[in-house]
C-alpha cells in the first residue's frame, strides 16, 4: 500500500479519510462490521495502538503488541472481503463478522477466513479476542462488564 494512495485499505472503495480513518482518529465505529474493517486497515497501516484499544479492555494487557507490530510490518496485505455480519439481540449486544483476509509474507501467500466476535459495552463495540481467554466462572459477572453472567454473555462467543 503506497503512502500516496488515499483509498482505504479495507477495500470499501472509499477514501481512507471517509472510511476507516475517522475511527483510527478516535471516533467510535457504529457497527461491528465497520470496527472489523477498521481493524483490518489498522493492520495494513501498522496502527497497533488502535488494535489494542478496540479489543475488549479486560483483554488488552494480554495482547502481544510487539508480535502484532511485527506481523503487521512483515505482511504485504492483499485484501479484505467481508462475507457477512450478524448482530444478535440482548444486552449487551453481540455481533459476529465473517471475513477473509489475504496477505503475503516470506512464507508465501495466505488466505485466512475467520468469524470474529464483538460485544458492545457502553455504546462502544469491542473485538472479543479468542486468543486472550477471559478468566471467569460460568456464573460470575462477565468480564466485559455488560452486567450479565459470563455464560449468558461473552462465553459462548469465545468457545468457552
Q: Which residues bind Zn ion (CB under 5 A)?
A: 8, 10, 12, 19-20, 37, 41, 142, 144, 146, 153-154
**Of residues 67 and 160, the one with the C-beta less far from Zn ion:** 160
Query: What is residue 16's three-state secondary structure?
Result: helix
Q: What are phi and psi of 23, to 5 degrees?
A: -70, -40
**Of residues 20 and 101, the one with the C-beta less far from Zn ion:** 20
Residue 138: other Cβ atoms inside 10 A: 10
Nearest distance from C-beta of residue 20 to Zn ion, angstroms: 3
The β-bridge relationship of strands 124-128 and 108-121 is antiparallel
* Chain centroid offset of residue 15 CA: 20
Nearest distance from C-beta of residue 109 to Zn ion, angstroms: 22
Nearest distance from C-beta of residue 37 to Zn ion, angstroms: 5
The β-bridge relationship of strands 76-88 and 108-121 is unpaired
**Of residues 67 and 76, the one with the C-beta less far from Zn ion:** 76
Nearest distance from C-beta of residue 21 to Zn ion, angstroms: 8
Q: Would you give the end-to-end CA distance of the chain in angstroms?
A: 37
**Of residues 34 and 48, the one with the C-beta less far from Zn ion:** 34
**Of residues 67 and 147, the one with the C-beta less far from Zn ion:** 147
Which three cell numbers mark 150?
A: 459470563
In sequence order, what are the beta bridge partners of 94? 88, 119
Nearest distance from C-beta of residue 66 to Zn ion, angstroms: 25
Amino acid at each position: 500500500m503506497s503512502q500516496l494512495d488515499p483509498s482505504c485499505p479495507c477495500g470499501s472503495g472509499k477514501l481512507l479519510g471517509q472510511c476507516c480513518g475517522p475511527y483510527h482518529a478516535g471516533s467510535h465505529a457504529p457497527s461491528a462490521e465497520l470496527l472489523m474493517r477498521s481493524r483490518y486497515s489498522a493492520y495494513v497501516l501498522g496502527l497497533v495502538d488502535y488494535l489494542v484499544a478496540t479489543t475488549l479492555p479486560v483483554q488488552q494487557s494480554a495482547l502481544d503488541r510487539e508480535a502484532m507490530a511485527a506481523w503487521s510490518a512483515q505482511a504485504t496485505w492483499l485484501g479484505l472481503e467481508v462475507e457477512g455480519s450478524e448482530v444478535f439481540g440482548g444486552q449487551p449486544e453481540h455481533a459476529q463478522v465473517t471475513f477473509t483476509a489475504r496477505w503475503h509474507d516470506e512464507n508465501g501467500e495466505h488466505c485466512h477466513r475467520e468469524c470474529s466476535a464483538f460485544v458492545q459495552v457502553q455504546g462502544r463495540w469491542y473485538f472479543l479476542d479468542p486468543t486472550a481467554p477471559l478468566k471467569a466462572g460460568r456464573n460470575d459477572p462477565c468480564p466485559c462488564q455488560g452486567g450479565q453472567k459470563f455464560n449468558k454473555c461473552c462465553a459462548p462467543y469465545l468457545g468457552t
